[in-house]
Structure 1
């Protein structure tokens, strides 16, 4: 899918392109390619004299290939953007390739992103939000930082629910398993958010070092970096909270397991005296009690019952059965 965005009266206007002729009649500041076909890439090459590499959004690119500038003035930036609202696929980071060439921003990605939708909505509603292609890129990173902050709030809310279920209720094995699953999901999301803000920080820093920004854009980039820095303390706090809840949940699981082991321990100690008495009465004595004494069997059974009840009574009195 190929979408072009033109600037008119301070607002972005989006148009989906399906032919080369339609692309020739527009002068965009932003060209967005979502899962582009070879034909759409050829249109870009013919219209803008820009060749998009085949591996432009590969995940295994070297770190040195993520930020660089070509001799013809092409500025290449590879950034990861977060998706955490997909119930089926779960939270993940999606690679996006940006190419800034002749005052036009080209973005290439495999699927639609929440940050891109957010920017499109804002640019249509807020006048004078964007003035050129570099503003588009900065606003995307600004929206990405805000999206990461919103995702962190979601992690806070999810962990709060886990805290109530673990710390305020009686935790059985089923509840503990659900809590561990929820904690694992939030830990994965928190880690992806931390990676996302780190990648955004690197991209914004590269733009500042490239000296392509004017004074107003440079100050906006510095504000984005300050916003990102403020998120680091939140992610660190959430990691500590996740570790605490994980330890607490595992502790409750150990307590439940110890209760089971305790039952077997008490039973084995309580039934040891009856076993001993039965063993003694089963020995081959010269004078067998069962034959020489008519009360031999009743006496043996009474001793076995009494020897079994006495340990339980003692354990209950000491509070070991509670």
Structure 2
């Protein structure tokens, strides 16, 4: 799918493109391609002279070559964008940007909420977009906001987990659910941190390349400050996640120790009766039960007393609580 946007009075207006002729008639500032087919790739190449990278080329590019200038002077950037899904774990989607002929070309395998938000905001805020570089900076700024919203979601989720973990009684089922939730939030927090690192690198590359005017340079600096402010939050969340993980594992160990404690007390309590029964089961020359009529009753009384006495002593010392 190809989405073409033209600049009118500082607003991004989308133009419907159904054929190659429709694309030739417009003077776009942003050409956004979501999982483009062969025809759409051919249109872009023949009209603008831009060769769009394949999905495999975008994923397999080395980290050191994520930002480079092509032989024809086109500027190529590869940036990861965070994508949260309700029915699955979060992930990052790599987007290929090409800056050529005063046009921003973006290629990604699926539509992203950040791109939808930028399109919606540009239509409702006249004067916010002046050229294709403003579109790119707006995407990076929105990416930082999206990551901040994701961090707020992590905060809320961890608050729920905290109330579950720090309750008076934590069952094994509750602990398993808490560990699953903690692992999910730790994965999301790590992806947010990686996403912010990648965005910082991209914005820093634009600033070092002297491609921005004074206003755009100041906007890039503000994006960098926003990203730096998120670093402290991700570090705090990592500490909170580690604390909740240790607390949950500690409660699991306590529950397991309670089970081991029961077996330990039972083994100690029933050791004397077992010893008495073993002695009375030996083959004496004169069997007590035959030589003395009170032999069996005495053995039973001794076994009961030897079993009750340890329980009474353990309970008095508070070891059974």
Q: Look up the match of 1:164.
A: 163
Q: Who is 2:109 aligned against? A: 110
Q: Distance in 1 between matches of 2:235 and 2:313?
A: 50
Where in structure 2 are the equivalents of 1:136-285 lying within 5 Å? 136-285=135-284
In 2, Cα distance between the equivalents of 1:254 and 1:57? 48
**Deviation string, structure 1 residues 71-107 (Cα, Å, up to 9, x no partner):** 32200000000012x1223200000000000100000
Which residue number corresponds to residue 134 of structure 1?
Answer: 133
Q: CA-atom RMSD, angstroms? A: 1.0
Residues 170 and 251, structure 2, Cα contact 8 Å, conserved in 1:
yes
Partner of 1:11: 11
Q: Is the 8 A contact 1:57 1:108 kept in 2?
A: no
Measure how far apart 1:127 and its partner are.
0.6
Residue 28 of structure 1: aligned partner = 28
TM-score (norm: length of structure 1) = 0.98
- Give how far 1:53 is off: 2.7
Name the residue aligned to 1:80.
80
Q: Is the 8 A contact 2:58 2:78 kept in 1?
A: no
What is the CA-CA distance between 1:263 and the residue it aligns to? 0.3
2:302 and 2:318 map into 1 onto residues whose CA distance is: 25
Which segment is superposed worse, 238-247 or 86-95?
86-95
What is the Cα deviation at residue 10 of structure 1?
A: 1.3
Q: Which moved more, 1:47-56 or 1:96-105?
A: 47-56
Q: Which residue of 2 aligns with 1:62?
A: 62
Q: Distance in 2 between matches of 1:57 and 1:186?
A: 30
Gaps in structure 2 of 5+ consecutive residues: none
Contact 2:44-2:51 within 8 A present in 1 as well: yes
5+ residue gaps, structure 1:
none
Residue 88 of structure 2 corresponds to 89
Output one character per residue of 1:189-221: Cα deviation in whole Å (capped at 9) or x when no partner.
000000000000000000011111001101110
Q: TM-score, normalised by structure 2?
A: 0.98
